[in-house]
């Protein structure tokens, strides 16, 4: 059994690494002014897959922090998935050709599902869908608006089209260190064949141990942000627990 992938997160705002509280751009804490250096630090800690979001791009609908992303890529020694402002095939192609392993499509998955299907057809296993939910409904445009589409309904639109993963974020927990919403994330994973990655709220080593319990067996990964930046989570201990759990199966 493959270990649960733990993705360290870099959220970009004005070219800096920040963390938001429940997606509120007005509540941004800057943790590093050099995203490329932060990416190198995560690699040195033993992480193998980086999660990056262009927050400004998510609001604007086009990439905004492209230069910061390119600096990250220039010295990157691990895989990287990238979202934020991905609304057309040119952007998908550009990022994949620049060295991004996997591109995340969020808002466009709600408004233009055919775009996701075509991207997954052209780039199999290199397209992920970001499902960011508020009270079970999918939020769009940088989480500024809430649609009428449920998380499960959106996920089912992309069954059997070659999507690599769904990244499910509970907005109410994101940046709040409230713990992962295991119940909702596992329920989504069990209802779909697409691998699901948990996001929003991971706060402690107890959350890491929770990911090793049997009911989380269908989860492909989890994203961690603030808990790493403020030292609540020891990255090497977390990775060791996940690897040991995988080896024991």
Residues forming the active site = 11, 132
The residues, any chain, with a CB within 8 Å of residue 23's CB and separated by 6 or more, are: 132, 139, 142, 143, 171, 174, 175
Rounded to whole angstroms, how far apart are CA atoms 174 and 180?
9
**Tokens encoding 96:** 């994949």
Rounded to whole angstroms, how far apart are CA atoms 95 and 160?
24
The residues, any chain, with a CB within 8 Å of residue 215's CB and separated by 6 or more, are: 182, 186
CB 9 within 8 A of CB 125: no
Picking from 25, 47, 48, the residue whose alpha carbon sits closest to that of residue 175 is: 25
């Amino acid at each position: 059994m493959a270990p649960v992938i733990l993705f360290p997160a870099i959220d970009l705002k004005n070219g800096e690494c920040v963390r938001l509280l429940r997606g509120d751009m007005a509540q941004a804490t800057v943790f590093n002014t050099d995203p490329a250096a932060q990416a190198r630090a995560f690699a040195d800690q033993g992480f193998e897959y980086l999660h990056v979001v262009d927050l400004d791009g998510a609001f604007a609908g086009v990439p905004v922090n492209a230069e910061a992303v390119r600096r990250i890529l220039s010295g990157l020694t691990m895989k990287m998935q990238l979202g934020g402002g991905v609304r057309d095939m040119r952007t998908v192609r550009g990022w994949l050709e620049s060295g991004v392993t996997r591109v995340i499509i969020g808002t466009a998955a709600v408004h233009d599902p055919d775009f996701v299907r075509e991207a997954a057809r052209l780039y199999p296993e290199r397209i992920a869908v970001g499902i960011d939910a508020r009270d079970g409904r999918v939020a769009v445009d940088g989480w500024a608006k809430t649609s009428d589409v449920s998380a499960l309904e959106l996920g089912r639109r992309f069954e059997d089209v070659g999507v690599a993963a769904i990244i499910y974020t509970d907005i109410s927990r994101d940046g709040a260190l409230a713990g992962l919403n295991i119940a909702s994330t596992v329920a989504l994973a069990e209802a779909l064949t697409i691998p699901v990655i948990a996001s929003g709220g991971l706060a402690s080593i107890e959350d890491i141990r929770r990911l090793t319990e049997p009911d989380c067996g269908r989860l492909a990964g989890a994203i961690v942000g603030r808990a790493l930046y403020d030292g609540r989570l020891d990255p090497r201990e977390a990775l060791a627990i996940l690897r040991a759990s995988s080896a024991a199966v």
